[in-house]
A and B are shown apart, each in its own frame.
Chain A
Amino acid sequence: MGTTMKTKKTVKKSGLFSIFTQGDIFSKLSFIIMGISNIARKQIVKGLIYLAIEVGYIFYMVRSGFSNILEMRTLGTSGQGMVFDEAQGIYVISQGDNSMLILLYGVATIVLTAVFFVIWAFSVRAGEEARQLKLNNKKVPNFIDEVKALFDYNIHKLILAVPLLGIITFTVTPLIYMILIAFTNYDAEHQPPGNLFTWVGLANFKNLLSASGKLSSTFWPVLGWTFIWGFVATFSCYFGGMFLAMLINSKGIGGKKVWRTFFVTTMAIPSFITLLVVGTMLGKNGILNVLLLNWGFVSEPLPFLTNGLWAKITVIVVNIWIGVPVTMLMVTGILMNIPAELYESAKIDGAGPFMAFRKITFPYMWFITTPYLITNLIGNFNNFGVIYFLTGGNPTSINYYKGAGKTDLLVTWLYKLTNDTKDYNLASAIGIIIFIISAAFSLIMYTRSGALKNEEGFQ
């Protein structure tokens, strides 16, 4: 292996342009005929693989790729309908174009093309590498050496191949497709295969963000509630969990593990179960109302999930119930890391427990957990589960666009738009807005946290 490592280092990386100007005829040819430079240096198998990829790609593009991309301009022209068939002399149903499939195939072709160009760049570089090795009278690695290298200095290619393929197929392609949908009119009235949809530019965003209209009068309240929810849910759980952790950790509490286990149990239960159960408990005839009536606390059932304000408070309280143990568990570990001398000297200086919290515990905690808090905040903006399983976004409001409710977050509204009303264009536009919000908060975290920048810090 020692020799291959050395050869790896002697080859200098050069840009594609300088490869073209400085390379020999095979290097230049390899820009058009992939792998030819490798074949010329006796790397037959490698060269042939590159060549096969190129042939396959061109074959695909000629057969359907080009037309896929061209059709994307209009997303289909002929709708479904009756067409007169002259040969048979009758009207027959013409399937027409399916805008959805046209867009999906188009995106897939574009992604495929991008992947192909990455491989193409790799092949040109590989050819150049082989040429330089030959030029310097070094051993040109044969195919078996190359495979061995995949387990050594090329291990990133081996390990990342499958995950990247997965991400490109099932995350990137669908994502590009959905982002493009935000600029079309793919709504309830334009459902393929019966109907066509087409590009509309920024119209969806204009409708959502404008000052008037049903859509924007839904969007702004939902956005506002998303923010209120995000902040209240994050900080209530944060401080609640901190309080609980400090309580269990405080001097003189016996059986710390037992207490902790009580609370951890509630977080270990899959959240959908607790949410479903709590949801059934809070209904008009749910056990909580029954008990409150039996105990004489109220004389009528409380509208936990059916009144807008009540429902908002309910989801926040239930979220505290779910989230506090999680923070408790995390904070416990951090609390133990705070140097005990700090507390001792504070005590000597006459600081009470509250002062010690304000001046020692909290600043320490705040400093360490800021990235966690921001991640959590973003997570809560997108906290689908709590809202969906508890209220389903309800109670609905007649002032809101189709089916959106008082407790809907942007993300649950997005789900309703995709799943119930099939307004994919609006759903996609909202998705992009959610992305912008998440990205903005992530940017804050990125600038505040050293973890990403100083990744070598610990080594």
Chain B
Amino acid sequence: MRERTVLGLNLKYSRTAIIAAILAFVTLFIPYARVESDSYTAVSLMTKLLSTGEGLGRFVMVIMVLGNILGCIMAVVNLIKPTKVGYRVWVVFSSVALAAYAVLLFVTKAAVDGKGIFTARFLVKYFSFGFWCGLIFTLFALWYVLKTAKINPGYVVLVVLTIIWLFPISWILLTSFREEGGFYVGYFIPHNFTLDNYLNLFKSTSVIPFARWWINTFVVAACLCVFNTLIILGTSYVLSRTRFAGRHNLMKGMMIIGMFPGFMSMVAVYNILKGIGINRNLGALILVGVAGAAMGYYICKGFFDTIPKSMDEAAIIDGATRWQIFVKITIPLAKPIVIYTALTSFLGTWSDYIFPSMLLGDKQSSYTVAIGLKWLTDFQRIDSYYTQFAAGAVMVAVPIVILFIALQRFYVEGLSGSVKG
């Protein structure tokens, strides 16, 4: 093949793409699926499906075959005269063909079962090399067509990854709107949609005091957010900007204490709270959370360390007290870390499970959402409450996701603050 150049195309890769597309076309005519003696090529299975019945599967089959044929035609067209438009069209055909292959992997069973096409019930392992080679050649063709058209083939990977990552999330979202109750259902998309799962959660007659749980968690989270942020900021400021005897030992001590697994001492904390007389109480949760807050000074102190000390010194010469420096200079300069600290303290409460569950026992009216939702997935309750559990999970997740995405920038700054080595 002569070396040609076309503006906007990278013809270096075109040969591979053309060969792959032609090979993908060829695979349409070699054995595609086989169960014992029943063997079909892609084309013959398609015609068989079209003649025998209805359903989504046969359309996908048609799209796949058409996509491959058209892809091959575009390969020939582009071989004769490569154009930018020609490659763009080819990209479309190839991606459609690949998507159809991927979908076929999942719907073929539903399409062929019970139609008398195969003697046995269909399984994915009955696909022959016609299918697998077709899939691989189509992928290759698309990959190199994208490269020729100067489109990053990373899109293919990203689409696949996004589907995997959003799969559980879409499942819980769909379940939360499902009208049919129960945990064990044999399908992914609900047959009927409803808002009842949400409404039931907030009904006063509901068995599940979800609104109460939500408010409990919110109150604890809000209190801890305020108090912990104040304590962490104060501790970090003092440890970073002032020098006093025992400072190093204090930091070392806190580091060492932090290395013991936290809930090892949970039982003892519980007994101390019992001694004070405030166990089984949300106030105790706040108290213990605030009491340990200073241990999380590390990231915040690292940030304060980067603020030039000359600013403090200038302020001292001007007669400012340390307190004024803290409030009027350091905190305004440290806005990202203030938000980071507040965000992490707020979010931490929503996920906190072990200590609250031990502290609150079976006192359901004081539950936080984490304990409450876990309680709902107990094997005795999961079947009756699964859709409501899903709705509850969504009710917790949505506000937090919005908050998190809105403040993402600060989270990243805090996170990378911890790795600046």
Contact = CB atoms under 8 A, between A and B. Distances in A.
A297 B268 contact: no
Contact of A294 (B186, B242, B323, B413): B186
Contacts of B265: 171, 174-175, 177-178
A427 B265 CA distance: 10
Interface residues of B, number: 110
A290 B353 contact: no
A418 B358 CA distance: 11
Contacts, number: 291
A250 B151 CA distance: 11
B203 interface: no
A135 interface: no
Contacts of B411: 329
Interface string A435-459: 1001100100000011100011111
A330 B165 contact: no
Interface in B374-404: 374, 377, 382, 386, 389-390, 393, 396-397, 400-401, 404
Interface size range of chain A in the complex? 35 or more
Contacts of A198: none
B235 A160 contact: yes
A271 B351 contact: yes
A104 B270 CA distance: 11
B319 interface: yes
Nearest to B157: A247
A217 to B, nearest CB: 23
Contacts of B164: 321
B302 interface: yes
A270 B272 contact: no
B243 to A, nearest CB: 9
Interface stretch (A69-77, A81-89, A137-145, A279-287): A279-287
B261 A173 contact: no
A272 B321 contact: no
B267 A251 contact: no
Contact of B292 (A167, A259, A268, A298): A167
Nearest to A450: B421
Contacts of B238: 155-156, 159-160
A273 interface: yes
B263 A174 contact: no
Contacts of B390: 277
Contact of A435 (B123, B155, B158, B260): B260
A261 B247 CA distance: 41
B293 A166 contact: yes
Nearest to B302: A451
Contacts of B269: 170, 174
A177 B268 contact: yes
B119 interface: no
A126 to B, nearest CB: 13
A434 interface: yes
B401 A268 contact: yes
Contacts of A123: none
Contacts of B275: 104
A385 interface: yes
Interface in B94-134: 105-110, 121-124
B263 to A, nearest CB: 7
B215 interface: no
Interface stretch (A19-27, A35-43, A354-362, A369-377): A369-377
Interface in B174-193: 183-188
Given A153-B322, A270-B347, A280-B386, A427 B264 contact: yes
Nearest to A240: B161
A148 B293 CA distance: 26
A263 B157 CA distance: 14
Interface stretch (B48-56, B205-213, B305-313): B305-313
A332 B408 CA distance: 12
B322 A152 contact: yes
A263 B167 CA distance: 12
B421 to A, nearest CB: 5
Contacts of B81: none
Q: Is the interface of B mostly helix, strand, loop or mixed?
A: helix
Contacts of A251: 152
A104 B323 CA distance: 38
B154 A253 contact: yes
Contact of B183 (A160, A285, A415): A285
Nearest to A442: B259
Given A175-B265, A278-B168, A156 B106 contact: no
A163 interface: yes
Contacts of A369: 419, 421
Nearest to B110: A294
A269 B416 contact: no
A167 B305 contact: no
B415 interface: yes
A263 B159 CA distance: 12
A351 interface: no
A287 B319 contact: no
In this complex, the member of B108, B187, B261, B354 whose beta carbon has the largest number of chain A beta carbons within 10 angstroms is B261
A302 interface: no
Nearest to A371: B421
B419 A368 contact: yes
A278 B238 CA distance: 43
Contacts of A442: 255, 259
A333 B419 CA distance: 11
Interface of A: 1-2, 13, 100-101, 104, 148, 151-153, 155-156, 158-160, 162-167, 169-175, 177-178, 244, 247-248, 250-253, 259, 261-266, 268-274, 276-281, 285, 287, 290-291, 294-299, 321, 325-326, 329-330, 332-334, 367-372, 375, 378, 382, 384-385, 388-389, 411, 414-415, 418-419, 424, 427-428, 431-432, 434-435, 438-439, 442, 449-451, 455-459
11 contacts: A104-B271, A174-B267, A175-B260, A253-B158, A263-B161, A269-B397, A270-B397, A277-B168, A329-B408, A415-B263, A459-B309
Given A287-B185, A333-B416, 9 more contacts: A152-B323, A153-B242, A156-B244, A270-B400, A277-B390, A389-B374, A431-B260, A435-B260, A439-B256
9 nearest interchain CB pairs?
A166-B291, A163-B294, A174-B268, A296-B109, A174-B265, A268-B404, A252-B152, A431-B264, A170-B291
Interface of B: 105-110, 121-124, 150-152, 154-155, 157-158, 161-162, 164-166, 168-169, 171-172, 183-188, 231, 234-235, 237-238, 240, 242, 244-245, 247, 250, 254-257, 259-261, 263-269, 271-272, 275, 287-288, 290-295, 302, 305-309, 319, 321-323, 326, 347, 350-351, 353-354, 358, 370, 373-374, 377, 382, 386, 389-390, 393, 396-397, 400-401, 404-405, 408, 411-413, 415-416, 418-421
